[in-house]
Amino acid sequence: MIDQELRNIYLREEKRQNGGIELIASENYPSREVREACSSILMAKYAEGYPEHRYYGGCVNVDAAENLAMERAQKLFHCRYANVQPHSGSQANYAAYHAVIRPGDKVMSLILNDGGHLTHGSPVSFSSEMYRFVHYPLGEDGRLDYDVIAKRLDEENPNLFLAGYSAYPFAIDFRRMREIIDAHNAHAETPCLFMVDMAHIAGIIAAGLTQNPCEFADIVTTTTHKTLRGPRGGMILTNREDLVKKIKSAVFPYAQGGPLEHIIGAKATCFAEALEPSFKEYMEGVLRNTAACDEELRSLGCVSSGTENHLFLLDVLASFGISGKEAQAKLEEVGITTNKNMIHGDTLKPSECSGLRIGFAAATTRGCTEEQARAIARLMFKVLKGAISQDEAKEEAAGIVSTWKDVMTL
């Protein structure tokens, strides 16, 4: 049977992706090998439990695939243990919390409007219902203020300190955070554990282009898509042997049932790709392109955050007098996909926002160059300024994309 109705939807989406400029910082295009693994025969196998300790028979081959994924993840991130079963980053965070703290314990995370994730204590997330969240702010310059973090730790005495963000454009000093937490724990009644959600910057870390939190944190979570360029899924890492059993039981059977072994196979492929020298070259290209677009927009008079990683925040309210919601819609009309985002000190409500979050992981995968990143910045400026017609903007965007690889041939 051919489901033509659904096939037509696939074809429309393929056309949209091939013809568009994808600048959503959390999106990327996995390789053909990763996509093939996602639809492999492993999909048909139920495998509750862990390798060599399953609740079902016939798991010898999925055991081998999962062990391979774990071994590659451990090598990639220089850690002793990797749990590759979480279905998503949110699932990984859910299980990680359960592994190291108890319901009602206090967690300190970044103020959500400054770049945190829903699972970092949002009122609409399980996290705020199960745990008591308190927050630390960014400094006036929009960067982490480590002195303020140290002060907040002593004031609040949390059970867990959480770092790692969804919309923070600068490098994070995990070493300094570890030192601050250790200094706090030296006189605190209750020791504070250190957790990092590295979902957004996992690819940069894998490429060795920024600090590896696995060296400093007690527990680390991540997604395997975004900058890591793998399948949609999650993972938990640690170097603490005493946490391994707790992490295992927190993922299964506490948080979820049977693992998605076909996705785990795709994770193994993704990790192998990220271990290749070409991945570091790719990630260096992402950083160059992101910086080039940000610099070009600022040279045109726009207000933006600056960047030290794969994303930056464009203040469209200050730059163009429109909301992030309106800017997102204007760009999407000409084939440039972004997402509205809160910025530091935002005066608009979350449904409107003052900013756009812009990243170049996906565009770089398709072949975007630094020169093209600057051309994209100029095109965005003209669209948001109302200085170009839709037809002209679409034609200009199509000219940029015409040199790129199609998403299905990657």
How confident is the model over 297-351, as pLDDT tens digits? Answer: 999 999 999 999 999 999 999 999 999 999 999 999 999 999 999 999 999 999 9
Both tokens of 318, joined, read 């200050």
pLDDT value at 273 more than 90: yes
Distance CA 363, CA 322 (A): 25
**How many C-beta atoms lie closer than 10 Å to residue 321's C-beta?**
10
Average pLDDT, the chain: 97
Average pLDDT on 260-272 reads 98
pLDDT value at 211 more than 90: yes
Residue 121 has a pLDDT of 83
- Strands 106-110 vs 160-163: parallel, antiparallel or unpaired: parallel
pLDDT tens-place string over residues 338-397? 999 999 999 999 999 999 999 999 999 999 999 999 999 999 999 999 999 999 999 999
Q: Are 122 and 266 in contact (CB under 8 A)?
A: no
pLDDT tens-place string over residues 165-209? 999 999 999 999 999 999 999 999 889 999 999 999 999 999 999
Q: Are 353 and 315 in contact (CB under 8 A)?
A: no
Instruction: Identify which of 352, 344, 359, 268 has the alpha carbon closest to the alpha carbon of residue 307.
Output: 359
The active-site residue out of 106, 232, 280, 298 is 232
Is residue 232 part of the annotated active site? The answer reads yes
The active-site residue out of 33, 36, 46, 145 is 46
Residue 262 has a pLDDT of 98
The active-site residue out of 226, 248, 330, 340 is 226
Is residue 223 part of the annotated active site? The answer reads yes
Is residue 3 part of the annotated active site? The answer reads no
DSSP state of 185: H
Instruction: Identify which of 75, 36, 44 has the alpha carbon closest to the alpha carbon of residue 62.
Output: 44
The active-site residue out of 222, 223, 290, 338 is 223
SS3 382: helix
DSSP state letters, 144-158: B-HHHHHHHHHHH--
Average pLDDT on 250-258 reads 97
Residues with Cβ < 8 Å from 269, sequence gap 6 or more? 31, 33, 34, 37, 230
pLDDT category of residue 117 using cuts at 50, 70 and 90: confident
Average pLDDT on 100-123 reads 91
Residues with Cβ < 8 Å from 8, sequence gap 6 or more? none
Instruction: Identify which of 190, 184, 189, 230 has the alpha carbon closest to the alpha carbon of residue 206.
Output: 230
Is residue 48 part of the annotated active site? The answer reads yes
pLDDT tens-place string over residues 131-156? 999 999 999 999 999 999 999 999 99
Both tokens of 197, joined, read 């959600």
pLDDT tens-place string over residues 214-245? 999 999 999 999 999 999 999 999 999 999 99
Is residue 226 part of the annotated active site? The answer reads yes
Distance CA 212, CA 162 (A): 15
Residues with Cβ < 8 Å from 180, sequence gap 6 or more? 146, 149, 150, 153
The active-site residue out of 22, 66, 114, 197 is 197
**How many C-beta atoms lie closer than 10 Å to residue 39's C-beta?**
10
pLDDT category of residue 1 using cuts at 50, 70 and 90: confident
Residue 113 has a pLDDT of 85
Residues with Cβ < 8 Å from 192, sequence gap 6 or more? 108, 153, 157, 158, 159, 160, 161, 181, 184, 185
pLDDT value at 9 more than 90: yes
Average pLDDT on 119-135 reads 91
Is residue 242 part of the annotated active site? The answer reads no
pLDDT tens-place string over residues 49-72? 999 999 999 999 999 999 999 999
The active-site residue out of 27, 33, 36, 48 is 48
